[in-house]
Structure 1
């Protein structure tokens, strides 16, 4: 996307971002080398912390919240780097600005799609609340209502969210511009573009994982090859291989969902459904009570996990939006791009309420 009130310009051809900074013959000063190394080492540390402790933690809502929290940190790190580089907006090449603005729109679209899916699952939780409410009584009518709500839950969760298609399209667009513009005469620009490459690579990985979990398919998962010269490359490949392999394994085994808390709810629903289907005799009363308690616990964990994840997705949306606003503001006034614009309280993000 081009700057405001300017006609859209096609992206320039992109080159290999790893020719920008070579170990031999580099024209970077010791200060710039130190800034870049610090950024990449910090990025490597954030990626290492993201690797789940075990396979059972892959696509657990608490892990997804941590992943989104890490993205917030990574995108804040790039703002800190820009400030440290003291790179005024007048020194930014038009093609850098176009790529940044276009990518920020795609990231906002992805956040909106994720928030939409979280909201859809939260709406499904209402069916569970109805089930639990009706099972608190013992009349046959309440059992019929509970069964109807269980049917509603299953139909709702099985439905597809069309907004996820926008998410996949946005990720494809980001992947196509992963390689960054060639930098000829700006040492600071080389550092900035190299750092932005790392940010985009990790962002794409996390978004790809989220999309696979939300969509019920691993077909759109991305396996990205990154050069070993990046200080974060080893941690990136380790995380990507571990998580992607596990998600593909889960889907290949016939799983309908790979979100752990959702899977727990689904298990509880399947256990409860045959009990309420034909009425409950005295022999099954205790089993009904235990199954209801189990479903109540899993539904509570599911709802709480969604709330926390929604908050982090909204935080990420605000960080991306504030960075975009800062750049646009400084383009208008000709200031320094490192002057950050804090989002005002009335800026509406994709928060799920």
Structure 2
């Protein structure tokens, strides 16, 4: 996708609220207008917060943790909005239900892929701990084992995770279905679809950044274009331009990883490698000691960052799963009503997949 032109500065910081009063489509009441404006204002603020002042923060594990927390908050917001809309499942258009369920199942697959990659990186930490343990000794054999552990760590970290590679296919599916279903006669439905569009855009963007970070490939990035009629469009465009541009600059040439903390560990490992290449005790003892200490410190920072990000991905998985289960539960209840056709038909179709 081509990169869009920078949008014009809107008169209102978060967009013109009176735009919702357009005669096209169903009329939005003051209450519905307020719900949608509050959702979009919060989303805009959240996207602005994700755009760091210091580019060095981009693709650090702490920034990725913040991005995942942002996604959790946005998905919690859409669940809260659905409750506030008081839109019974029996009134949902089948297309809306399909959109929600398709998004959720794809996101669960993506979460599983990210979790598998974080688990793989944590396994690399075990090799790193083994390396550090052997480096504490001063006899020859442990140094030989340390060299072996170092080589194993390098091979492990540079290997590819096929599940992360497959994320591109899932993200492409989400992009293909990003356009909103047509809403003709439901004001609540219009609010729901408009809010879900914002959720999809932020979700696809963050997940594509994660896929690029884990794979080390800028080809995983997606340059989504958003019309400036959305109150959060300017914040998103600024975030996308900043993050994607910096990542593409970072991933020029061959690199083992784009993750800042992992790259720091890899730098320390490469510094140590020639010192123990022959399996003998290093001649420059002080420099060697400092290098080992530096590797231990960076390894600990990596380990802590991976643990926190893993918890963030797990939380996102649970939020998506809870929302999906709640909808399916409501569909089951609706399907028992003989006067209601939509819930029963959709549930039957979903469960037959």
Cα distance in 2 between the residues matched to 1:75 and 1:122:
27
| 1:93-123 deviation line (CA, Å, top 9, x unaligned) | 1111112111100000000000000000000
Equivalent position of 1:263 in the other structure: 263
Tell me, what secondary structure is at the counterpart of 1:309?
helix
Does residue 239 of structure 2 align to residue 235 of structure 1?
A: no
Cα distance in 2 between the residues matched to 1:35 and 1:72:
19
Does residue 37 of structure 2 align to residue 37 of structure 1?
A: yes
Does residue 132 of structure 2 align to residue 140 of structure 1?
A: no
**1:34-73 matched pairs, under 5 angstroms:** 34-73=34-73
Cα distance in 1 between the residues matched to 2:223 and 2:138:
53
| 1:7-38 deviation line (CA, Å, top 9, x unaligned) | xxxxxxxxxxxxxx854215111111111000
**1:1-353 matched pairs, under 5 angstroms:** 23-25=21-23, 27-280=27-280, 283-334=283-334
Normalised by the length of structure 2, the TM-score is: 0.87
The answer to whether the 8 A contact 2:144-2:280 is kept is no
Shift in Å, 1:53: 2.5
Cα distance in 1 between the residues matched to 2:153 and 2:36:
50
The answer to whether the 8 A contact 1:96-1:181 is kept is yes
Cα distance in 2 between the residues matched to 1:281 and 1:160:
33
Tell me, what secondary structure is at the counterpart of 2:219?
coil
Cα distance in 2 between the residues matched to 1:283 and 1:156:
29
CA RMSD of aligned residues (A): 1.3
The answer to whether the 8 A contact 2:212-2:218 is kept is yes
Equivalent position of 1:13 in the other structure: none
Which runs of 5 or more residues in structure 2 are unaligned?
A: 1-18, 336-353
The answer to whether the 8 A contact 2:209-2:220 is kept is no
* 253-262 vs 220-229, greater mean Cα deviation: 253-262
Shift in Å, 1:279: 4.3
Residue 169 and residue 282 in structure 1: after superposition, are their counterparts in 2 closer, same or farther (change >3 A)? closer
Normalised by the length of structure 1, the TM-score is: 0.87
Shift in Å, 1:280: 4.8
| 1:300-351 deviation line (CA, Å, top 9, x unaligned) | 011110000000000000000000000000000129xxxxxxxxxxxxxxxx
| 1:116-151 deviation line (CA, Å, top 9, x unaligned) | 000000001111101100011101000000000000
The answer to whether the 8 A contact 1:109-1:166 is kept is no
